Amino acid sequence: MTARTLPSDQEMYEAVLARDTRYDGIFVTAVTSTGIFCRPSCPAKKPHRRNVEFYRSPREALAHGFRPCKRCRPMEPPGKAPAPIRALIAECEEHPLRRLSDQDLRDRGMSPRTVRRWFKKHHGMTFHAYQRARRLTKALGALGEGADLTQTAFENGYESLSGFHHAIRQITGRSASQSRTATVVRLSRATTPLGPMLLGTTDDGVCLLEFADRPMLETQLRRLAERLDAVYVPGTDAVGQQLKTELGEYFEGTRQSFDVPLATPGTPFRQRAWQALLDIPYGETRSYAEQARMIGKPTAVRAVAQANGDNRIAIVIPCHRVIGADGTLTGYGGGLWRKRYLLDHEARHRVDGS
C-alpha cells in the first residue's frame, strides 16, 4: 500500500497537533529526531513538521528503523479496550441486571476514576450510566414483546415505576408506552485498519456501519431513527459480534463476502440500488451508469449516486466499488483515501476467477 491511500500530509500533521483519536489506526507518526513512532493522539510533546514522517502501519515504521513509543503503545490495536475494561463490558452483557459500584471496581484492582474516564471517552457516558443503559435495553426488549410494564420495571432492577419511566425518557426521549413500539438499535464500536466504525444492530440484522468521523454520521443516525422509529442504546448482540468477526476476516484478506443479516430500510429504488452494489463482485468496480443499467434505470445515474450516498452499511454493502465513468474515484462518505485503500486491498486479495 502506498502513501496515496493516506490523508494528505497536511491533514495528518494537523491531526497530530490536535491529538485527534479518530486517526488512530489510520497512520503512525515517526519522529526523526528521536527515532520513535507514535499514534496520532499521543500525548507526548508535539513534533516539528520537519522532523515528522508518516507511515501507514507500525510495521512500515519498524522497517524504517523507528521504535514504538512506550507512552501511547502504537503496536496495540487501535481503539481496543484494556483487558480489565473488556472484562467489565463482558460482565455487563452477560449479567445486565448486576450493579457494580465503585467499591466493586476497587475490589477488582481498578480505579473508578480511570474506568469513568475510559467510558466517557469511548461511549460518551460514565460506566454507571452504561450499566443503567444496558439494563434499560433489556427492559425495552421486554416491552416490545408485550410484557407488563410494572413487571418489567421490577424484574429489571427498578425500585419504582416512576424511576423506570424517568430512565426510559432520559435514554430514549419517549414515554414507556411510546417505547413499547420502538425499534431498539444497539450501538457499539468496531475497530478497523481504517479507524473506528459505529455499528448498529436490530433484531433483524445490521442497520448501520459507518466510519466514526464521517461528516454525515449524525444525519444518517437521524434518518435511520425516523425510518425505523428507533431508539438508540449502547450494547451489542450476536449479530454485532458476527459482523465484527467478519470485518476482521475481510481486512485480513480471508473473506470476500459477508454472511451477516442486514436491515436496510429505504425506498424500493434505494433497495434496488443497494442490491446492485451487493452484486458487484469482490475486487471489481462498476461505474454509476453501469449500476443504473443493472437495475433497469439507465437514465437514473444521479439518483443511483444519491442512493449510494445514503448507504448506511459501509464495506458490507460495497458502494466503494462504484467509480466514475473515466475510472476516477468519486464521492465516498468515508473519504476518497479510504475508498482507494479498500479497492487496493480487494485487488491484492482477489483470487483470479473468483
Integer angstrom CA distances of residue 110 from 106, 167, 168: 5, 27, 30
187 three-state secondary structure: strand
C-alpha cell at 297: 434505470
Asked if 206 and 341 sit in the same domain, the reply is yes
User: What is the pLDDT confidence band of residue 353, given thresholds at 50, 70 and 90?
Assistant: very low
Asked if 217 and 339 sit in the same domain, the reply is yes
In a domain, 78, yes or no: no
Whether the Cβ atoms of residue 131 and residue 95 lie closer than 8 Å to each other? no
Asked if 155 and 200 sit in the same domain, the reply is no
Q: How confident is the model over 58-115, as pLDDT tens digits?
A: 777 876 778 888 888 887 666 667 778 888 887 877 776 677 889 988 988 889 988 8
CATH number, domain at 136? Answer: 1.10.10.60
In a domain, 75, yes or no: no
CA triplet 246, 247, 249: central angle to 5 degrees? Answer: 65
> Considering 38, 42, 69, 92, which one is annotated as catalytic?
38
CA 192 to chain CA mean position, Å: 8
CATH number, domain at 29? Answer: 3.40.10.10
Asked if 230 and 299 sit in the same domain, the reply is yes
pTM of this structure: 0.62
Cβ-count burial 73-88 (b if 16+ within 10 Å, e if not): ebeeebbebeeebeeb
Which of 124, 157, 181 delimits the end of a domain? Answer: 181
Lowest mean pLDDT of 14-18, 213-217, 328-332, name the range.
213-217
Strands (E) located in the chain: 28-31, 36-38, 52-55, 67-68, 183-190, 197-202, 205-211, 230-234, 286-287, 322-323
Asked if 274 and 317 sit in the same domain, the reply is yes
Neighbour-count burial of 227, counting CB atoms closer than 10 A to its CB (0-12 exposed, 13-18 middle, 19+ buried): middle
In a domain, 329, yes or no: yes
Task: Say whether pLDDT at 352 is over 60.
Answer: no
Asked if 130 and 233 sit in the same domain, the reply is no
* Residue 137, CB-side half-sphere exposure with 13 Å CA sphere: 25
Q: List the one residue out of 210, 281, 158, 269 whose CA is nearest residue 22.
A: 210
> Considering 42, 69, 207, 319, which one is annotated as catalytic?
319
3-state helix, strand, coil in the chain (%, to 5): 45, 15, 40
Q: How confident is the model over 170-192, as pLDDT tens digits?
A: 555 555 555 556 688 888 888 88
Task: Say whether pLDDT at 218 is over 80.
Answer: no
Neighbour-count burial of 36, counting CB atoms closer than 10 A to its CB (0-12 exposed, 13-18 middle, 19+ buried): buried
* Boundaries of domain holding 221: 184-354
| Listed ranges 145-154, 158-167, 244-253, 320-329; the one with the highest mean pLDDT | 244-253
Q: What is the mean pLDDT of residues 264-273?
A: 92
Cα separation, 148 vs 150, in Å, equals: 6
Sort strands 183-190 and 230-234 into parallel, antiparallel or unpaired. Answer: parallel
Q: 199 — phi, psi (to 5°)?
A: -115, 130
Q: How many domains does the chain have?
A: 3
Asked if 120 and 201 sit in the same domain, the reply is no
Residue 69 is among the residues annotated as catalytic for this protein: no
Asked if 258 and 293 sit in the same domain, the reply is yes
